[in-house]
């Protein structure tokens, strides 16, 4: 096999693995908010209890072949299931192309980095969905993932991955990420006597710090998520007459900014960081 053919087949493999992970995320999304196990019982139709057979559980394809209905009772299957699978699959593929754009970029270290950051992105997909629907961020994808981020940094450093954080940078990132939001929440509470953000956001930003480090990642994420959040909040007031009091979870903005950082952070920061530094001064 030529290096080019190997490179392409690895990308196909990465996409298929990512689709399968997306399928597992659907299980997490459905069960974690109720604290149910994600491994047992096996997947079944929520309407009639029909046990989903392996060939009814193939990402994307099964939903199309079943024509979006349970094969036993005909209850419609939400298009959100294949949408989550496709989103996760595409993130896995695009991440591969970001980290290993040429056949010559493929290495054990780069591959390990793909696995680490793909798990990271998958946790963001699931926690965003759960936060939008239930206004909670599961600990499994936030504070419990901090040691995972620290361990992953140590592993990538040991493997000699260029751009890996040291485990100390990971620990500092988690402490500064979580600590920063704690201070914000505390200050907000002192002034307004209400919780501006939830502790789920504190734990999520700690996790982002553990995987991405403090500088420039956390600065970028806080800035971009705040700008996006203000923009969407204002749009909601203008178009729907809602106030900021309407529940608008902040976690999805943090997650979205982190995804932007993973894919475009290097380019955006090289280009705009000097001017971005002035934005906090103007606010």
Write the CB contacts of 54 (distance below 8 Å, at least 6 apart in sequence).
Answer: none
How many Å apart are CA 238 and CA 232, to the nearest integer?
Answer: 10
- Please identify, using beta-carbon distances, which residue of 73 and 277 lies nearer to Zn ion: 73
Shortest Cβ 70–Zn ion spacing (Å): 3
Shortest Cβ 32–Zn ion spacing (Å): 22
Shortest Cβ 151–Zn ion spacing (Å): 41
Shortest Cβ 31–Zn ion spacing (Å): 17
- Please identify, using beta-carbon distances, which residue of 70 and 212 lies nearer to Zn ion: 70
- Please identify, using beta-carbon distances, which residue of 21 and 45 lies nearer to Zn ion: 45
How many Å apart are CA 276 and CA 280, to the nearest integer?
Answer: 8
- Please identify, using beta-carbon distances, which residue of 11 and 57 lies nearer to Zn ion: 57
Write the CB contacts of 164 (distance below 8 Å, at least 6 apart in sequence).
Answer: 113, 153, 156, 157
Shortest Cβ 72–Zn ion spacing (Å): 5
- Please identify, using beta-carbon distances, which residue of 74 and 163 lies nearer to Zn ion: 74
The contact set with Zn ion (CB under 5 A) reads 45, 47-48, 50, 70, 72-73, 75
How many Å apart are CA 22 and CA 83, to the nearest integer?
Answer: 9
Shortest Cβ 49–Zn ion spacing (Å): 7
- Please identify, using beta-carbon distances, which residue of 44 and 271 lies nearer to Zn ion: 44
How many Å apart are CA 94 and CA 35, to the nearest integer?
Answer: 32
How many Å apart are CA 178 and CA 135, to the nearest integer?
Answer: 18
């Amino acid at each position: 096999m030529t290096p080019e053919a190997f490179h392409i087949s690895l990308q196909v493999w990465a996409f298929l693995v990512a689709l399968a992970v997306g399928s597992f995320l659907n299980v997490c999304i459905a069960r974690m908010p109720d604290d149910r196990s994600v491994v047992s019982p096996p997947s079944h139709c929520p309407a009639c209890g029909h046990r989903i057979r392996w060939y009814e559980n193939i990402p994307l394809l099964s939903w199309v072949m079943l024509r979006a209905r349970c094969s036993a009772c005909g209850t419609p299957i939400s298009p959100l299931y294949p949408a989550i699978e496709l989103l996760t699959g595409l993130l896995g593929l695009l991440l591969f192309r970001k980290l290993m754009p040429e056949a010559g970029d493929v290495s054990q270290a780069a591959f390990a980095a793909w696995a680490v950051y793909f798990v990271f992105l998958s946790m963001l997909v699931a926690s965003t969905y759960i936060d939008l629907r239930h206004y909670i961020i599961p600990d499994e994808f936030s504070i419990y993932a901090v040691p995972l981020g620290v361990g992953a940094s140590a592993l990538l450093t040991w493997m000699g991955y260029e751009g890996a954080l040291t485990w100390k940078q990971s620990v500092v990132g988690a402490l500064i990420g979580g600590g920063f939001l704690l201070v914000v929440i505390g200050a907000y509470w002192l002034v307004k006597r209400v919780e501006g953000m939830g502790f789920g956001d504190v734990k999520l930003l700690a996790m982002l710090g553990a995987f991405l480090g403090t500088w420039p990642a956390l600065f970028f994420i806080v800035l971009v998520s705040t700008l996006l959040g203000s923009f969407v909040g204002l749009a909601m007031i203008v178009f729907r007459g809602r106030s900021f009091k309407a529940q608008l979870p902040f976690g999805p903005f943090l997650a979205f900014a982190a995804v932007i950082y993973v894919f475009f952070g290097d380019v955006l920061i090289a280009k705009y960081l000097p001017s971005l530094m002035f934005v906090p001064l103007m606010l």
